[in-house]
Structure 1
Amino acid sequence: MVVRFNADIVGEIVRADARGESDAVMRSLYIRRNVFEVDLDAPVYRIIELQYFREDLSEKCLTYTKIDKSNWGDSTENPLLGREFKDEVTGGVLTLDGVVATVYGSCWSATALDTQSAWAIFSRRNPSVRVQSTPRKLLDAAMSNANKFYMLQHAIGKMQYATDDEIEAYFSDPDWQKHLDSLGQGIAASFLRLNENLSSEDEVRLIYDHLNGEWPAANVRLVDRFAKVPFDWMVAVDGVVVGPFAPDGEEAKVRSELLGLGINCPVISSPTRTSAG
């Protein structure tokens, strides 16, 4: 077994499983295992348009976007999708599409982006909020105990930035097997590389792999290029900042809506916001 991240935690999981530890203990360890190169409890942030935030809150889900070049508008996204390799055994052509074509992502940032330009870009100048959480809490909110394969479907990692040539050189290597391991860490890592021109976003990406199975089929809604995955917002939200394009009174409204859902967290307005309340 090739271990690419958190080898110490992988070892803990093996020992805990041998001891017959409880589901709660194992789940905590799986969360730690699936956080890649970012602190478990470091704050992360996401600017979300208010209409979509409210929709996800009401539906108790988080909406992820399918990761590919067309949806994400970047040539380095999902670099293994559609890439052909030579099968040394048969001499034929193979791809890894079977393991990379069903992956969805939600983009967060390790930086509390709070400039007029950042709000304009990430909210498309629509009323929006910036939600604060942590990698541990995001995985805790996304990993359902009812899903026996939750540990294989959810991960979060810090984006690694490089030049297009460096990224292409790594993924065009004919050794396609280097991306595969029993924990799926190599495939997850393939979604954590982007062009260095985007490094100012300081991205931390939450990943969902829509595997075949009873739980995903019954609980995850696929709508066009989106996956709406059950999500416990009460666990995830540490704070909310109302952005500059929100109308008067929106801060109070958002605070009231969150309290009505049992989410008691700080709700403030961005210093860039000129509207009141």
Structure 2
Amino acid sequence: MKNILSIFIFSLLFVSCHQKPSSIDSYAILDMAAENEIIPTTRQELANPPAPPLPPVTSQEVIKKKIIKDGRIGIEVNDLEDSKSRIDTLVKNQGGYYDNESYNNSNWESSYNLKVRIPSANFDRFLNAVETGKGEVKYKEIDARDVTDQFIDLETRLQNKKNYLKRYNELLAKAQTVKDILEIEEKIRGIEEEIESTTGRLNYLSDLVDYSTLDLTISKQKDFKYNPVKRGNFVQKLKQALFKGWYGLIDFTLLLFNLWPLWIFVAVVRYAWKKFRKKK
């Protein structure tokens, strides 16, 4: 029994002695593999560094729409002057003005034709006040045009022209010959004219956007009344006819005398024709 126990203990010691070196070797192999994994990865990162981070996304500036709003409206009223006074008050209260005003009076109708310029922010409010007033709306037409693209295009062109002008002014300051100076000044003159034209176009569009236009007609119908045309006295008209006839006869006689060269020419041609026929 003792011999068997001794043999079993000896076997365990022998096996444990042979397993220790293999464990050390396996750890070494794992370390080498880890090193081999780390080194290529590190070299790859150094050879191809990561892309720089993207810039923070900023919200783009919201472009304000440029809308031109205009229209026309016709209203028939019973009291023309009272309605006109009310329109005057509305225009003043809304910060507008009359671009044109005309009054027409005929046998069947009297009317005011008004071209009103109203700040675009108050246009709808003014139009609503006109419609809800006294009178009947006969026609109404409102248009809205988006000119934002035109604004952006003109502003971009204007900025580019200003940049060109700045560059040409710098070149002018460095020019040394008269020829170069004259050529650059000619270019500058042309660019300045283009800048003035573009600025004028922008100002015109801005005015149309800032102030809406409304062609407003207020009218009042009249009861038809026949107004005969006044005719003159018969004796007076007879005298005028006699005088006109006499003056016409005098003018005709003077015209015949004024054509005396023509009569001489006709007489010569007739005499020559008769002589020619006699010879035949």
Higher normalized helix content (fraction of residues): 2
Q: Give the TM bin, normalised by the shorter chain.
A: under 0.3
Alignment TM-score, normalising by the size of structure 1: 0.17
